């Protein structure tokens, strides 16, 4: 939806009328805390402190999906297929399916203070950084993280 307004420039520049176009859309209302780009689809996922996760199509420059969560979102990661998201909230991680018009939670993992999530190139593993020093590597399909897949980061 585009709207324009007309302004009179009193002695500034030329005497032509200046027009501004409003950009109206479902943007985040607070700072963006996470962003990830899908490898196989033309999609970007963003999350914000306003408790929303949005999916954007960067080729068509359109907003696809927006979902509100009960808590502040810290970070987000797109599965390489574009069909799944992993979203970190304050005290848990949500593994979600991306549907045609919504984001559906399919698994909740109780991991507190996760501030970074990344998928492996194939998408079968994802790493979650908790409390800025513990790295847990999970199997995406079984949600397992054995002791060999837990690492101590920088202190």
Digitized pLDDT (tens) for each residue of the chain, 155 residues in all? 444 445 455 555 554 666 665 555 677 778 889 999 999 999 999 999 989 999 999 999 888 999 999 989 999 999 999 999 999 998 899 999 999 889 999 999 988 888 899 999 999 999 988 877 788 898 998 888 876 677 776 55
Closest CA to 71 of 86, 92, 85, 55: 92
Distances (CA, A) of 45 to 2, 98, 134, 144: 25, 11, 24, 25
The pTM (predicted TM-score) of the whole model is 0.76
- Residue 40: how many CA atoms within 13 Å on its side-chain side? 10
- Contact between 47 and 32 (Cβ < 8 Å): yes
Please report, for the chain, the start and end positions of each structural domain, with discontinuous segments joined by +: 27-152
Q: Please state which CATH number belongs to domain 27-152.
A: 2.130.10.10
Q: For residue 52, what are the β-bridge partners?
A: 68
């Amino acid at each position: 939806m585009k709207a324009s307004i007309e302004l009179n420039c009193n002695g500034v520049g030329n005497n032509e009328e200046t027009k501004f176009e409003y950009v109206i859309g479902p943007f985040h209302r607070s700072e963006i805390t996470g962003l990830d780009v899908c490898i196989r689809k033309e999609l970007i996922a963003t999350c914000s402190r306003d408790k929303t996760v949005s999916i954007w199509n960067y080729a068509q420059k359109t907003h696809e999906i927006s979902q509100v969560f009960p808590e502040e979102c810290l970070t987000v990661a797109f599965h390489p297929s574009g069909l799944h998201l992993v979203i970190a909230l304050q005290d848990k991680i949500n593994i979600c399916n991306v549907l045609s018009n919504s984001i559906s939670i399919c698994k909740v993992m109780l991991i507190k203070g996760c501030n970074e999530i990344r998928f492996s190139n194939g998408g079968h593993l994802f790493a979650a950084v908790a409390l800025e020093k513990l790295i847990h590597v999970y199997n995406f399909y079984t949600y397992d993280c054995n002791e060999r897949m837990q690492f101590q980061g920088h202190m």
